[in-house]
Structure 1
Amino acid sequence: MPRATVGALLVALSFVVGAVPAAAEPIAVRFTEGIMRGFPVLRSQSGEKLAQGELVQIPRGDVVESRLIFRFKDGSLYDERVVFSQRDVFTLLSYRIVQRGPSFPESLEGSVDRSSGRYEVRYKGDEDSPEETLKGQIDLPSDVYNGLLSTLMKNMPAGNPATVQIVAFTPKPRFVKMLLKPAAEDLMQVNDVAVATTRFVVRPQLGLFASLLIADIPDVKCWIAGGEAPAFLRFEGPLYFMGPIWRIDWS
């Protein structure tokens, strides 16, 4: 993405929310997360395999540590670490994201921590730009859920939408409201089995000015199998703001 375009998008994002966002109600825990290890695959829309993933999730009492890594064939890296509490409601405790390599327009390492109220961002716009480091204070509202959107979808009452927030590193961290909305009931083929799923649409709730500047934001879609043991089956959307549509599933 051209540097000028990136700059325009960052300006637009600065109009998304105010400096002190109003928190909505946190999402209640209906299904607790347990120990897990899986190997998701990231593909292009045409089906080309772009990256092999690994997801490791370990609960320690009411606190869960989760790490998702995608190692791209072109040498790029996507590394996301989430620590959250699942006592009565889901609460993000800390978050760290690393993305670098030719599959991404910028190199970024960003982190936020609820207990310390601190953030740190290391950012490099392109290969010829110097690395920038930003540090400061951040007060995380109770409904901030970086890295947890699919977990929330598994816990939302059937048919009910929810609005939450994420921290977007632009590179300075900003809060962006996200609408999680069940859109349709789909049958998804998993090997030889047709699985009933709910297709969720995730869309940022932009202010008027940002909406005028960015009219073609792609929808993010997630497919969740419901029932007594809900499960994530597929993701389609960009991994970074205004990025290409990629697909994540288990095969």
Structure 2
Amino acid sequence: MLQTIRGHRITSRLTYHFKDGSVDDETTVFTQGTVFHLLSDHHTQQGPFFSKPTHFSLDEAGNLSVRTLEKDGKKKVETSHLDLPQDTCNGFTGTVLLNVAPSMAPFKLGFVASSGKGRLINLSVDIVGQQPFSPILGVHRRATVFRLHPELGGIAGVVAPVIGKQPKDIYVWILEGEVPGLVREIGPLEQDGPVVSIEPAGASYPPAELVKK
């Protein structure tokens, strides 16, 4: 993860490299002042780990482009315009969680999912508890575990759980303190994708009993 700062403007790039050659690469630009505000988000996923190569591009005006490569080899481009809420948090959800007090939960955040022409949903954020972990051998800490629940809304939100299409929840471990840290995340990287656990090398955690299967 790389971040550069110019005044109130933050450019953040987070890249995951997989052993099978797959890449998840997201670059987000946002401002921070009294509030966070999204300026742009570019997210690429490609390689065997993902269902299909996808490039997602979103700007603060709500202009959205989703480019995919279908199984038949054809390129597909979907474009649309969305009226984004001020709390749209694509690309910096973790940053938001690092800057909120646990007492503020539950709350909701706006988020644009990349399926189809893009869909504006809510992420319902609450706290499911605290859990101990060891960042290094012999050191013990406790982290607050946030749950991010995607709310589809409308008829889709009613039907999705019935047909098994409700997106899985994402769980994020935040170490509180003078300099808070994101120390673990469990959830899918794409819709209908496998659940993965992202954590610092060398850290140890008890079984994640707070996480719903």
Task: Tell whether the structures are fold-level matches, with TM greater than 0.5.
Answer: yes
Q: 1:213 aligns with which of 155, 160, 163?
A: 163
Q: 1:102 aligns with which of 13, 28, 48?
A: 48
| CA contact 1:153–1:180 (8 Å) conserved in 2 | no
Q: 1 CA distance for matches of 2:192 and 2:44?
A: 17
| CA contact 2:82–2:120 (8 Å) conserved in 1 | no
Q: 1:66 aligns with which of 12, 15, 36?
A: 12
Q: 1 CA distance for matches of 2:66 and 2:16?
A: 20
| CA contact 1:112–1:138 (8 Å) conserved in 2 | no
CA gap of 1:56–1:219, structure 2 versus 1, over 3 A, is: same
Map of 2:81 onto structure 1: 137
Counterpart mapping for 1:40-119 below 5 A: 55-115=1-61, 117-119=62-64
Map of 1:152 onto structure 2: 96
Deviates more, 1:230-239 or 1:214-223: 214-223
The answer to whether 1:166 aligns with 2:116 is no
Counterpart mapping for 1:19-58 below 5 A: 55-58=1-4
Q: Which runs of 4+ in 1 moved over 4 A?
A: none
Q: 2 CA distance for matches of 1:210 and 1:103?
A: 24
RCO higher in 1 or 2 (8 Å CA, sep ≥ 6)? 1
List runs of 5+ in structure 2 lacking aligned partners: 202-213
SS of 1:208's equivalent? helix
Map of 1:121 onto structure 2: 66
SS of 1:190's equivalent? coil
Q: 2 CA distance for matches of 1:241 and 1:215?
A: 9
Give deviations 1:22-46, integer Å, cap 9, x for gaps.
Answer: xxxxxxxxxxxxxxxxxxxxxxxxx
| CA contact 1:123–1:171 (8 Å) conserved in 2 | no
Map of 2:143 onto structure 1: 197
Query: Which amino acid in structure 2 is aligned with residue 181 of structure 1?
Result: D
Query: Which amino acid in structure 2 is aligned with residue 125 of structure 1?
Result: E
Deviates more, 1:95-104 or 1:68-77: 68-77
Map of 1:184 onto structure 2: 129
Deviation at 1:91, TM superposition (A): 0.9
Q: 1 CA distance for matches of 2:30 and 2:165?
A: 33
| CA contact 1:197–1:226 (8 Å) conserved in 2 | yes
Q: Percent identity between the aligned chains?
A: 33
Query: Which amino acid in structure 2 is aligned with residue 135 of structure 1?
Result: T
| CA contact 1:114–1:139 (8 Å) conserved in 2 | no
Deviation at 1:217, TM superposition (A): 4.4
Q: 2 CA distance for matches of 1:235 and 1:57?
A: 19
TM-score by length of 2: 0.86
Q: 1 CA distance for matches of 2:98 and 2:76?
A: 37
TM-score by length of 1: 0.73
